[in-house]
Amino acid sequence: MTSYTKLPLVALVAAFSIGTVSAQTTTAPTAAPAAPTAQAAHAAAVPNPDVGGVKMEATNTIVANAAAAPNLTTLVKAVQAAELSATLSGPGPFTVFAPTNDAFGRLAPGTVDTLLKPENKALLTKALTYHVVAGSISAEQLKAQITAGGGKATLTTVEGEPLVAEFVNNALSLTDVHGNKSYVETPDVRQSNGIVHVVNGVLLPKLT
């Protein structure tokens, strides 16, 4: 396994970006889901969807629910390393596009371990807050914004840079500033302080 621990920051950024770009070229992991789930259109009328086979309580915070989901353990570690747990447990509300363990696993080898190191906290924080948007935005609201925008909606993240939301083959997708796409696997997981949409790719802001 390649290690990036001793590389300068610019090399780490390149490794992080290359891992995401290469993931975009694989077929199964980053392909759009065959069809959107029913929760996307009827979140308010049905129970919260499970995440990783575990029930998500709408009365729990974003951090509490993520900690209970077995497929979000890497995200939870990253949030803890960046010291964002208190923020994402606060009143918000927040919309979080939460990458799965598999999404993090498609980054270049060694990238996640390196990002979790204390000396890379600023870079990790920047990457994580790029997955967060102020307010509670459901999939139905995103769809309305996309329709109003003529097929695309631009979301300003907490990090400050935009994500572009659109539908690709009837699946809700997000495109980062580098052109990499991530698809929503499980939309509308309601939380006491916002909403989470589980996604199958890590999104990247400009890291330099």
pLDDT digit string, tens, across residues 126-165: 999 999 999 999 999 999 999 999 999 999 999 999 999 9
The pLDDT value recorded for residue 15 is 45
Q: 165: part of which helix (H) or strand (E)? A: strand 162-168
Q: Is 182 a domain residue?
A: yes
Place of tokens 């990783």: 52
What domain range includes position 87? 9-199
Considering the domain boundaries, does residue 155 fall inside one?
A: yes
Q: Assess if residue 2 is contained within a domain.
A: no
Domain at 140, CATH number: 2.30.180.10
98 falls within a domain: yes
Say how far apart CA 115 and CA 5 lie, in whole Å. Answer: 9
Query: How many residues does this entry show for the chain?
Result: 208
Residue 189 in this model has a pLDDT that exceeds 80 = yes
The confidence score (pLDDT) of residue 207 equals 74
- pLDDT for the residue 29: 39
**Which of 8-12, 53-57, 160-164, 176-180 is least confident?**
8-12
User: Is the pLDDT score of 39 beyond 80?
Assistant: no
Q: How many domains does the chain have?
A: 1
Q: Which of 14-23, 93-102, 107-116 has the highest mean pLDDT?
A: 93-102
